[in-house]
């Protein structure tokens, strides 16, 4: 099995009620691949600018992340600046500079084209489709999306959905896509648009899985120290796809449930530090220990 | 075992995005005792006005609810009118007329004073303490509270807490009471104020249990048809205390977890109709079936 992720690499500047960080490594592909690296050696495809320091490449290498698809373009790396509200669940974007990510048109290295598992991180559905066309015979394709694409590229998104094994999106996006206010109805309605599985993310309230065999509910891991929620959704996805690619070829309901539990644990870990700090300080044994704690928290 | 509940009985007028109901039977003691009636024969203490119709008394009787403590006072029954927002989670109170409930000073019938399980529904902590003083040797006392009492009668509330086996309160109230923004820290901090167990209610996102043996997470039952969220918290409490009083004398962690699962199922049922409509149309076998569905939804 081999896991490909295509997404953004960014410098994040973040203010939360519990602290501040400037220009730290972020972006969907960074969070995803760091999370997935506890299960597999993810293949990362992304673009950075000439300002991208060797220390970040070294971090990826130290986690076994294959950066053959990490290209450097003329210009600066994508930058994002945001401020979280007191509830740690909502935030304001203060600055976005797409820089080299604005013209990102990924070309997969030849040896990435046989990837069995693919995660198309949030991006335009046309770009996601162009990436997918470069993978020969994927066994499991998952994608993320956002309100912008539902609003501006709905037709392209609808064309992509039947080609997906799984769509990950948040609660408000599911409502926007389907027009259903009730989340359970919305989750089922998204599935009728094509993807075999729908993973509905609810931020600090966890996630739900909708599939042929019904609903799985994964409440968030109750973290007692949330420093920075940035990247929790992508780290969750990295845990899900990482474990899936480690454990099963074609995704099954039971495999995906277990993978979501791992994703939940990693999503609960990453928020305990700024950026990737906390994931740098964990290992598979802590993750497995938390998985058993999580299972115990749900047992009656 | 015998379960006593002291709380409000009201006529509710409710607007939700899915419909309207006028002057239907509501109030914490009504929702609680209807929910608890699937496990035990709850003893209800409350006050109504001269306008309280026989049909509601007949409903209580049909569910085995002991109404020896239901007194009729001169005047009108408590009335509440509210309107839910599109998200079904927040609401505006449009009208409150306490009427006879405004001077409610409960006196327990002699034969209720040996109750083993007690639920002090939301009310002033001084009134809750006066009720508790009338019960001889309760084995399990649970209470609900609200922002008003935390704000205006904090000292009386703090004096009550060490006498409780369990305090039920919602997330914002736990934050208000403890000054902790993080919910996990807030839950533990409430427990340090005295109650053996803290049940933290998160509305449509479920509940968490904090006890000596750690945290239990009970996400809400995913209802695909939410007509009216009114009373979900009290029905949840009725399921919890109903099952506790059916199954165990002194509450244990495992007993309370199972009881919270039952409470979650009943909370998920009551929202499927206005007021008590849906609880009138269920039975223990449907509740037990949903409990197993709920368990399956959480299994990985």
For position A119, what pLDDT does the model report? 98
Q: Contact A242/A42 with Cβ under 8 angstroms?
A: yes
pLDDT at A126 over 90: yes
For residue B182, how many other CB atoms are within 10 A of its CB?
A: 18
How many Å lie between the alpha carbon of A67 and the closest alpha carbon of chain B?
Answer: 33
- Per the CB < 8 Å rule, is A226 touching B182? yes
Name chain B contacts of A225, Cβ cutoff 8 Å.
182
- Kindly report the average pLDDT of chain A as a whole number: 97
Residues of chain A that touch chain B, judged by Cβ-Cβ distance less than 8 Å: 17, 86-88, 181-185, 188, 202, 205-206, 208, 214-219, 222-226, 254, 257-258, 260-261, 295-300
How many Å lie between the alpha carbon of B62 and the closest alpha carbon of chain A?
Answer: 31
Q: For A60-69, what is each residue's pLDDT tens digit?
A: 999 999 999 9
Q: Contact B263/B32 with Cβ under 8 angstroms?
A: no
Beta strands in A18-115 (DSSP E): 19-26, 43-48, 66-72, 78-84, 91-97
Domains along chain B with CATH numbers: 3-297 (3.40.1190.20)
Q: Among A17, A97, A39, A33, which residue's Cα sits nearest to residue A67?
A: A33
Helices marked H in B63-153: 125-132, 147-152
- Per the CB < 8 Å rule, is A222 touching B299? no
- Per the CB < 8 Å rule, is A215 touching B222? yes
For B300, which of A87, A181, A257 is closest by C-beta distance? A257
- Per the CB < 8 Å rule, is A257 touching B205? no
pLDDT at A89 over 90: no
Burial pattern A138-169, b for ≥16 Cβ within 10 A else e, equals bbbbbbbbeeebbeebeeebeebbeebbbbbb
Question: Rounded to whole angstroms, how far apart are CA atoms B294 and B201?
Answer: 18
Q: For A13-55, what is each residue's pLDDT tens digit?
A: 999 999 999 999 999 999 999 999 999 999 999 999 999 999 9
Name chain A contacts of B188, Cβ cutoff 8 Å.
224
Name chain B contacts of A188, Cβ cutoff 8 Å.
224
Residues of chain B that touch chain A, judged by Cβ-Cβ distance less than 8 Å: 17, 86-88, 181-185, 188, 202, 205-206, 208, 214-219, 222-226, 254, 257-258, 260-261, 295-300
Question: Rounded to whole angstroms, how far apart are CA atoms B223 and B226?
Answer: 6
Question: Rounded to whole angstroms, how far apart are CA atoms B66 and B59?
Answer: 11
CA contacts within 13 A on the Cβ side of A131: 30
Q: What is the DSSP letter of A116?
A: S
Name chain A contacts of B206, Cβ cutoff 8 Å.
219
Q: Contact B235/B35 with Cβ under 8 angstroms?
A: yes
Residue B33 Cα to chain centre, angstroms? 9
Total count of residues recorded for chain B: 300
Residues of chain B by 3-state class (helix, strand, coil), percent to 5:
40, 25, 35
Q: For A257-282, what is each residue's pLDDT tens digit?
A: 999 999 999 999 999 999 999 999 99
Residue of B nearest to A205 (CA): B205
For position B196, what pLDDT does the model report? 97
Burial pattern B236-258, b for ≥16 Cβ within 10 A else e, equals bbbbbbbbbbbbbeebbbebbbb
Residue of B nearest to A204 (CA): B205
Q: How far apart are the first and last CA of chain B?
A: 35
Q: What does pTM read for this prediction?
A: 0.95
- Per the CB < 8 Å rule, is B224 touching A182? yes
Name chain B contacts of A254, Cβ cutoff 8 Å.
300
Counting as low any pLDDT under 70, the low residues of chain B are none
Q: Contact B171/B158 with Cβ under 8 angstroms?
A: no
For B182, which of A208, A224, A260 is closest by C-beta distance? A224
Residue of A nearest to B171 (CA): A87
pLDDT at A87 over 90: no
| Section A241-245 average pLDDT | 97
β B91-97/B78-84 pair status: antiparallel
């Amino acid at each position: 099995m081999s896991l490909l992720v295509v997404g953004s690499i960014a410098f994040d500047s973040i203010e939360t009620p519990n602290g501040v960080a400037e220009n730290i490594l972020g972006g969907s592909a960074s969070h995803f691949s760091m999370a997935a690296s506890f299960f597999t050696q993810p293949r990362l495809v992304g673009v950075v600018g000439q300002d991208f320091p060797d220390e970040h490449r070294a971090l990826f290498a130290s986690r076994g992340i294959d950066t053959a698809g990490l290209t450097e373009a003329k210009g600066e790396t994508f930058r994002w600046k945001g401020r979280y509200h007191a509830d740690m669940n909502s935030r304001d974007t203060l600055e976005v500079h797409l820089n080299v990510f604005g013209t990102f048109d990924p070309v997969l290295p030849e040896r990435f084209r046989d990837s069995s598992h693919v995660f198309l991180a949030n991006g335009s559905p046309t770009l996601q489709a162009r990436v997918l066309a470069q993978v020969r015979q994927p066994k499991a394709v998952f994608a993320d999306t956002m309100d912008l694409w539902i609003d501006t590229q709905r037709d392209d998104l609808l064309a992509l959905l039947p080609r997906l094994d799984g769509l990950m999106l948040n609660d408000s996006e599911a409502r926007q896509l389907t027009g259903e206010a009730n989340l359970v109805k919305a989750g089922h309605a998204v599935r009728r648009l094509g993807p075999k599985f729908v993973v509905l993310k609810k931020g600090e309230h966890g996630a739900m899985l909708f599939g042929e065999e019904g609903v799985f509910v994964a409440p968030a891991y109750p973290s007692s120290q949330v420093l920075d929620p940035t990247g929790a959704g992508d780290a969750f996805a990295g845990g899900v796809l990482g474990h899936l690619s480690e454990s099963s070829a074609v995704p099954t309901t039971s495999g995906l449930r277990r993978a979501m539990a791992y994703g939940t644990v990693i999503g609960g870990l990453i928020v305990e530090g700024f950026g990737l700090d906390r994931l740098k300080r964990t290992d598979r044994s802590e993750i497995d220990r938390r998985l058993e704690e999580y299972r115990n928290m749900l047992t009656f």
